[in-house]
Structure 1
Amino acid sequence: MAQIPRQHDRPASTHKRAFSYLRVSSAGQVNTDYDPEGISLPAQRSAIQRRAAELGAEIVAEFVEPGRSATTVDGRPVFREMMARLKAEKSVDYVLVYARSRLHRNSIDAAITKRDLRSAGVTLISVMDYTEDSAIGDLVATVLDGVNEYQSRASGADIAYKMGQKIIRGGSVGRAPIGYLNVRETFEGREVRTVAVDPVRGPLVRMAFELYATGTYGFHALIAALSDAGLRTRPTKRFPIGTSISLNSLGNLLRDRYYLGLVSLRGVEYQGRHEPLVSPEVFDRVQQMLESRRAGGVRERTHNHYLKGVVWCHRCKRRLMVMRGKSHTGDLHFYYFCRGRQQHACDLPYLPIARVEAAVIDNYATIALPADLRDNLTSRVGELLAESAGMSAELRTQVKDQLATLDRQEDRFLDLVGDPDWPQDKIAARLRKVRDERDRLARQLNDSDAPRLDEAAETMLYLLGLLADPQELYRRAGQQGRRALDQAFFAKIYFDSDDDGPYVAADELSDLVFPLVNEVRNDSGGAMGAAAAGEPSPALAGSSKPPLVEVPGIEPGSFVVLSGLLRAQLTMSLLGPPTHVSKFGRRAQSLINLAARSP
């Protein structure tokens, strides 16, 4: 039986007052019964009430902390509230708990709490533990608090080790990300907790990667498309049908390597047992798109326009932005204006969007290729394909040698994992780099070179077809088609204005078309040179002369704005960011560079 503590400056009274404190460690312990409190909390309350009756004390306040860990008091607001009331009221005799482990699993916090309770003249009563206000009672309490802390830390270390081993074997730990479901399967008579593809959200997550990889979707547009397709977050009490995915969640999703079928532990990646939702090629293209848009500063606004991010000010080399204006009659008008004007650093006037669009159409006439040059390049592509066929065996041998070297490097790094004398974060980063490179080379080895080169050649030949009359192609394209062409052909288009209105003062060609178009512009005397735009990349003059050659292979009556704009094999390369082209685009670009240098 617990002894009544010494009373500190309180009036004598036979009526004892008590606070009760109830806690469970996780929310899962609460949601386990028809009772909303689950099973543990009512059981603790019943035992505490019986103990209070034995002491002849009235429970004047109950403090319930569901789903909170006792490793520290920092994350337990209800406990801190109880201690604050004890110090303020100084009229409480007992704090009743079911067990000391419900109050503490940290011996330091336990000692501090014991000091504060004694200062307030309060005795801690544990229903399940020996309690006595004496030297022996203090000794027992100290030992129990140390044992509770040991059990907590040992249990945590054991769980962490087992979870780590599960990850190393390819398993998934915790709640599955959107697109997957936590499921239970029966395997050889045992229940196994694993992860399976969500039949509803999984295909939509795959669609999110594929749409963003095209380069035609920003985050806002992608969220709208996914919401229209039916992608919602998991239901919650607050949102029973879920919500649209947020901007931050979408960014994390597009960067999550879990969708490649990988799991990670302390920075080291392992092949997971779950089904990948995204191929490495699409995932890499998405990362390139994310990086290029972050570096290029492409931002989405309420007033969207297909030229945003492409048009720049020729005077101060800042980006042009869209603004809305209203006339005295209430009509709305949209303009491009220089960001430097906001900062009082540029005097470029406002440019009506319709006239900017017309100037860009005129500029497309300057990148057309003459028929004789296209014929010469086509012949050169055939020669290059014949030359590269003989190099295939040698390249495969080189790739195999590189794979063997990477295998040896991986073995050396694996020997260092766990060695305290080596920085584990750097070893993990190097291992990841080695494995990514090995996977890339393995895919390259498994691919057949001939079909890839054929596809690259087809890409280039189709590009040559587009450059026969790009102005007419651009004029007849829709907004998304024009944006795709702008990204494929130009890095930047610089605008200025005079008495006649806005005009293209210079432009920078994309890496894909620069080797082809630059020579033609130089020979025709239309180039202004890099100094004209003040940029290290080539900046070339536009022209208002209309083209005289029809677009080959496109019938006016059957031209489709978006779906028919580019062939399937060009979709990913021409719709990608200007500074990052796809695998086929890079092969095509290599052919273009070689062909453009040939006599």
Structure 2
Amino acid sequence: MTITNTTSSTFEDNSWPAPPPAAVGSINTIAGLEHLALDTAAQPRASKQGTAVLYLRVSTVRQLNTGADVDADGNSIATQRQWARDAACELGATVVEEFVDPGHSAQSIEKRPEFKRMMRYIDEHPDVRYVVIYMRSRVFRNHLDAAVTKIRLREKNVTLVSAKEKFGDDYMGDAMEAITDIMNEVQVRQSGEDIKVKMAHKVQRGGSVGRAKLGYLNVRKEFDGRLVNTIDLDPDRYPILQWAFAQYATDQYSIWQLCGLLEEQGLTTRPSSKRPARPLSPSALAKILRDPYYAGTIRYKGALYAGRHQAIIDKTTFLTVQKILDRRNRKGDRDITHFHYLKGLLACGQCESEGRTSRLVYSQNVGNGGTYEYYLCAAKQRGNCTIGTMRLDDIETAVARAVAAERFHTESVDTIRREVTRAMETLQAADRELKDSLRKQLTTLETQEDRLIDLAADGTMPSDKLRGRLNDITLQKASIKERLVKTETHLRSGAERVLAYVDLLENPGDLYVSLAGNTRRDLLAAFFQRLIVYVEDDGLHIRPIRTDVNEALHDWQTNTHAANERASRVSAEGSPFSTTQRDSSSNGLSNSQLVGMTGFEPATP
């Protein structure tokens, strides 16, 4: 007697080749016995042959690229493919297509594009008999999806086969499948709730969750002898974002304009396997400007928590940016700001002479086939000033003349460099002497502190009086330590700043003309606090209000020039004291002048 093994649970359609007549109705075959035992009216079952498709799925891209020899738990596509092909081989089926959902962590199968494509493929290829998966837990996140998928495939005469799970073909197998799907759903929900609790706890302790935001990086660092996941600054991007917050806080840029400037500086998004690096969009920049994460605060589930990550900007700047965004985003308003590099630096000379301060406002008008740019006094708009509008070209020309007038003589520049070096040597020597004195004072205070502690141990001094003495010594020690922090490096950085100003003053006119608009503004900010514009009969004139460092350098040049002239006149008169007087007149910067320059002050006793 010939026995044919036919235990498949799939149903046959008319397109499948019919089995030999004796095999269908004869009780001499196992297939015939099965039909008699179940239901004579039941549909005939298919043999374990035909074509199969594989459906493989991972939740992350990292799992997609993991090899089967590395991951044997089914978390990689390679592992799932190996098991699914072995299962198809046991069925005697030929694998004709493979569908992979890479990195789609969707809770529903309807949100997985490759699953939808597989169902369309089955509709177009009715000879497909099996869909082979690795495990049901990898495909179905809830029992309803599993039941609906089984019904839809059964209607197409397709059997869903799990490579690692053998449930059988009878009603007990169906029951085990359903129980497995329900338990998988319970496990998914439990894991989800557990993750939510752990994420909330991590945020409450200041930790960051998820992928690092732009300007930061996900890194692994060693703490207490073990590697942990943490957040660190992105050295290529965080300085640019820091600059973006500062510039928007000036209220002189729109988001669109700031996006263009950031693109010029090379800011891009981080590349991924799906998307290349690209410039920041206005909507993405708006989200960044609204995100308190960059100020060291984490927003989670509507609440704010102090973060352990390093802030890119201070909270004052962040709040300023929020006020600007709120004001510009009111109904009917648009975030559009006309920008010019002189904006905010110019003041009206007529208002200045009348005892009030009023800025010149940049404006654009479109008409007669072009765009016309000009400045006008803000007080004129309120009826308090009679000065007319000033053409932008005239303003720019007058500013360029004012910058060129800042130029120092070559011999003055060389002298300043020598004098700064000499002053540095003097200040460094004084700084070393002061630090020696401070260290001696600190040693004396520590000795007094030790004696007071001994008295406290003996009980020979009242506790209140003792505590007061110890507090005084603690404050004095803290003060001395703060003064010791001002090191020679602080003095050197101040000297470098002064020398940088000198380099700019050597030929500022040509340098200014060669720069772009944004860089011109930086140069103007180094030279001037404000530029006051006067309208005269012969044109526009500017009176500059210099910065402290620039003013100190110009005062030195003026005083030195006057001293040299006096020495020359005395020498010409033949005075016997002319040589001595000329030698005693200092051509250098005094320490008092250097102290007036921010960042170049010596340590004071």
Alpha-carbon distance change, 358 to 108 in structure 1, aligned in 2, over 3 angstroms: closer
Q: Which range is displaced more, 290-299 or 216-225?
A: 290-299
For 1:151-550, what aligned pairs fall within 5 Å after superposition?
A: 151-237=187-273, 242-295=277-330, 297-300=333-336, 322-323=365-366, 325-326=368-369, 333-334=370-371, 357=375, 366-367=384-385
CA deviations over 1:155-177 (Å, ceiling 9, x no partner): 12212211111011110001111
Aligned CA distance change for structure 1 residues 306 and 189 (closer, same or farther; 3 Å): closer
Distance 2:11 2:278 in 1: 57
Measured at CA, do residues 40 and 49 of structure 1 come closer, stay the same or move farther in structure 2, by a change above 3 Å?
Answer: same
SS at match of 1:93: strand
SS in 2 for 1:209: helix
Tell me how far 1:211 sits from its aligned partner.
0.8
Residue 263 of structure 1, CA deviation: 1.2
Tell me whether 1:21 sits opposite 2:55 in the alignment.
Answer: yes
User: In 1, distance between residues paired with 2:58 and 2:225?
Assistant: 32
Following the alignment from structure 1 to structure 2, what is the Cα–Cα distance between the partners of residues 66 and 282? 41
> Against the structure 1 CA distance between its residues 42 and 111, is the aligned structure 2 distance closer, same or farther, given a 3 Å change threshold?
same
Secondary structure of 1:110's match? helix
Counterpart in 2 of 1:5?
A: 10
Unmatched tracts of structure 2, length 5 or more? 1-5, 19-46, 344-362, 387-516, 522-533, 551-605
SS in 1 for 2:110: coil
Deviation at 1:11, TM superposition (A): 3.4
**Residue number in structure 2 paired with 1:136:** 172
Structure 2 letter corresponding to 1:53: C
Residue matched to 1:502: none
Partner of 2:116: 80
Of all paired residues, the percent bearing the same amino acid is 36
CA deviation after TM superposition for structure 1 residue 17, in Å? 1.7
Report the counterpart of residue 427 of structure 2 in structure 1: none
CA distance in 2, matches of 1:85, 1:237: 27
SS at match of 1:83: helix
Which amino acid in the other structure matches residue 100 of structure 2? V
Structure 2 counterpart SS, 1:60:
strand
Counterpart CA distance in 1 for 2:379 and 2:315 is: 37
Name the CA distance, whole Å, in 1 between partners of 2:82 and 2:67: 16
SS at match of 1:283: helix
C-alpha contact (below 8 Å) 1:69/1:75 kept by paired residues: no
Contact 1:2 1:125 in 2 (8 A): no
1:425-452 deviation line (CA, Å, top 9, x unaligned): xxxxxxxxxxxxxxxxxxxxxxxxxxxx
Query: What is the identity, as a one-letter code, of the residue corresponding to 1:27?
Result: V
Amino acid at match of 1:334: T
Q: Which residue does the alignment assign to 2:572? A: none
Distance change (3 Å), C-alpha of 1:559 and 1:72: same
**Residues 273 and 358 of structure 1: CA distance in aligned 2, closer, same or farther (over 3 Å):** closer
1:110 aligns with 2:146: yes
- In the alignment, the residues of structure 1 paired with residue 63 and residue 321 of structure 2 have an alpha-carbon distance, to the nearest angstrom, of 41
* Secondary structure of the structure 2 residue equivalent to 1:366: coil
Return the alpha-carbon distance in structure 1 between the equivalents of residues 128 and 295 of structure 2: 59
Partners of 2:86 and 2:379 lie apart in 1 by 86
Q: Highest relative contact order (Cα 8 Å, sep 6+), 1 or 2?
A: 1
Q: Distance in 2 between matches of 1:265 and 1:361?
A: 46
C-alpha distance in 2 between matches for 1:193 and 1:303: 43
Equivalent pair of 1:213/1:285 in contact (CA under 8 Å): yes
CA–CA distance in structure 2, aligned partners of residues 236 and 322 of structure 1: 44
- Distance change >3 Å, CA 133–CA 30, structure 1 → 2: same
Alignment of 1:560-575 (within 5 A): none
> What secondary structure sits across from 1:74 in the alignment?
helix
Residue identity opposite 1:19 in structure 2:
V
Deviation at 1:54, TM superposition (A): 1.6
Does the residue aligned with 2:219 lie in a helix, a strand or coil?
strand
Describe the SS at the equivalent of 1:181.
strand
CA offset at residue 560 of structure 1? 7.7
Structure 1 counterpart of 2:132: 96
Give the conservation status (yes or no) of the 8 Å contact 2:218–2:230. yes
Change over 3 Å in CA distance of 1:323–1:31 after alignment to 2: farther
- Partners in 1 of 2:108 and 2:77 — Cα distance? 20
Give 1:346's aligned residue: none
Greater gyration radius: 2
What's the TM-score once normalised by structure 1's chain length? 0.52
Q: Secondary structure at the match of 1:64?
A: strand
**Alpha carbons of 1:82 and 1:281: their partners in 2 closer, same or farther (altered >3 Å)?**
same
Asked if residue 62 in structure 1 is aligned to residue 98 in structure 2, the reply is: yes
What is the Cα-based RMSD across aligned positions, in Å?
4.2
Query: Aligned partner of 1:272: which letter?
Result: G
1:175/1:88 CA distance change after superposition, 3 Å: same
In 1, the alpha carbon distance for the partners of 2:195 and 2:232 equals 23
CA distance in 2, matches of 1:101, 1:287: 46
The structure-2 alpha-carbon separation of the partners of 1:169 and 1:221, relative to structure 1 and needing over 3 Å to count, comes to same
Secondary structure of the structure 2 residue equivalent to 1:141: helix
State the match for 2:64 in structure 1.
30
* Structure 1 unaligned regions, length at least 5: 308-319, 327-332, 336-352, 369-478, 484-544, 565-599
The structural deviation recorded for 1:557 is 6.3
CA–CA separation in structure 1 for the residues paired with 2:376 and 2:220: 61
State the AA in 1 paired with 2:371: F
| Cα drift, residue 297 of structure 1 | 2.3
3-state DSSP of counterpart to 2:128: coil
Q: Is the 8 Å Cα contact of residues 100 and 126 (structure 1) preserved in structure 2? A: yes
2:291 partner letter: D
CA distance in 2, matches of 1:72, 1:29: 20
- Is the CA contact (8 Å cut-off) linking 2:16 and 2:127 kept in structure 1? no
Following the alignment from structure 2 to structure 1, what is the Cα–Cα distance between the partners of residues 109 and 16?
Answer: 31
Aligned mates of 1:129, 1:230 — CA distance in 2: 53
SS of aligned partner of 1:90: coil
* Amino acid across the alignment from 1:23: R
Whether 2:73 is the aligned partner of 1:40: answer no
Check the 8 A contact 1:130/1:140 in 2, yes or no: no
Q: Which residue of 1 aligns with 2:404?
A: none
- The alpha-carbon distance between structure 1 residues 67 and 136, as it changes in their structure 2 partners (threshold 3 A), is same
8 A Cα contact 1:20 1:96, kept in partner:
yes
Alignment deviations for residues 293-341 of structure 1 (CA, whole Å, 9 cap, x no partner): 223725538998999xxxxxxxxxxxx9843543xxxxxx336xxxxxx
Return the TM-score normalized by structure 2. 0.51
1:264 CA displacement? 2.5
Distance 1:199 1:34, change over 3 A: farther
In the alignment, the residues of structure 2 paired with residue 262 and residue 275 of structure 1 have an alpha-carbon distance, to the nearest angstrom, of 10
Partner of 1:119: 155
> How far does the alpha carbon of each residue in 1:364-384 deviate from its partner, in whole angstroms, 9 at most, with x for none?
88259xxxxxxxxxxxxxxxx
**Using the alignment, how far apart are the partners of 1:303 and 1:271 within structure 2?**
36
1:109 deviation in Å? 0.6
Does 2:186 correspond to 1:150?
yes
Change in CA separation of 1:161 and 1:39 when aligned onto 2, cut-off 3 Å: closer
Residues 434-476 of structure 1 show CA distances to partners (whole Å, capped at 9, x for unaligned) of xxxxxxxxxxxxxxxxxxxxxxxxxxxxxxxxxxxxxxxxxxx
